[in-house]
Amino acid sequence: MSTGRILKTEALFWMSDVDNVTGGQSRDLALQPAWDYLLQNHHDLLRSPLFPVILSVTTYFFLVALYTMLDLLAPTWPCINSYRLHPDKPVTWPNIWTTLGVTIYNHLLYIFPAAVTQWLWRLPTPLPREAPTLWSFFLGILGCMVVFDFQYYIWHLLHHRVPWLYRTFHAVHHQYNQPFSLVTQYLSGWELFSVGFWATVDPILLQCHCLTTWGFMVFSIYVSTEDHCGYDFPWSMHNLVPFGLWGGTPKHDAHHQRPGTNFAPFFSHWDWLAGTHMVPNPSDHTAGGETDEMQGKQG
C-alpha cells in the first residue's frame, strides 16, 4: 500500500513538472522539438547579435533571386508571363542592374556598419529553454504586423503628403511605377532605417519570444518582396486572405501608379478608414500612364 502511494506521489510530481514546462496544454509542445534542435545544434549562431541581420539579408536576397529568375524567364515562358500584372512590360537587365546597385550600396553603407556596431555593443541574445506556444507564436507575429502596419501607414502617408519629405526621402522608391522584386529595397537610407527600426523594436515592445521575432522578420520580408514582385499568383497573400482585408501585389502596384492610394504595407483597414483605399481595375495594370506625383520609369 505504501509502495503504491509512493508511486502515485512520484507520478503526480512528474506530471507537475510537465505542466510547468508546457502550461498544461499539449499544443505547447508543437514547436519544442524544433526549438530543442536549434538550441542543440546552432546555439552560438542564434545567440549572436549578427544572426537577425544574417537571417534578414539571406531571406531577402533568396526571394529576390527567385523572382528575378521568373522575370528573366517570363518573356519567353507564357506560363509565367500570364501571371504578371504587366505582361507587356518586361523587366530588363538595365532595370535589374540599377536597382541591384542601389540595394548593394545601401547594404554596404548602412546595413553592414549597423550590423558591426550591433555585434560589438549588443549583448548576446538570451535563448529560453522553452519554445513559444503555437498560439503565442502566431499571435505575436500578428500583433507585430498590426503595430507595424499602423506605424508605416502614418510614415508613408506623411512622406506623400509633405512635399519636402517626398522629394527628399521617398521619391526614389517611386521611380518605378510598375515595380518588380528588386524595387522592394530601392530606397533612401532614411526609409531603410525607419523600416528596420520598427521591425526590430515592435517585437521587443510586445515582449515576443525570439523565435516569434525571427518569424515576424522573415514573414515581413516575404510580404514586402511579394508586394513589389509584380505577379498575381493564386497563392499570393491577397488571394488567400478573404474579404479584401489584405493589401497585396495589385494594390501596391496601383499605389506606384496612383501614389495617393493604398499606403498600408499589410492590411487594408487603415486605407478604408482614411479614404485612401483603391481596388485596382484590370486596365490599371495594362495602362502605363503618369503617376499623380511624378512620371516613373517603366518597369
Specify whether the CB–CB gap between 149 and 267 falls below 8 A. Answer: yes
**Reported pTM:** 0.84
The candidate with the shortest Cα–Cα distance to 253, out of 195, 190, 181, 203, is: 181
Confidence of residue 114 (pLDDT cuts 50, 70, 90): confident
Give the pLDDT confidence of 213-231 residue by residue, as tens digits: 999 999 999 999 999 999 9
Specify whether the CB–CB gap between 272 and 151 falls below 8 A. Answer: no
Specify whether the CB–CB gap between 288 and 89 falls below 8 A. Answer: yes
Question: What's the rounded mean pLDDT across residues 130-139?
Answer: 95
Specify whether the CB–CB gap between 181 and 67 falls below 8 A. Answer: yes
Count CB atoms within 10 A of the CB of residue 113.
10
Q: State residue 123's pLDDT score.
A: 83
Burial-class residue 179 by CB neighbours within 10 Å (0-12, 13-18, 19+). buried
Q: State residue 117's pLDDT score.
A: 83
**Does the pLDDT value for residue 289 go beyond 50?**
no
Cell 530601392 locates to 186
Residues linked to residue 231 through DSSP beta bridges, in sequence order? 84
Q: State residue 282's pLDDT score.
A: 62
Q: State residue 28's pLDDT score.
A: 61
What are the E-state strand segments in 17-171?
none
Q: What residue ranges do the domains of the chain occupy?
A: 44-126+136-274
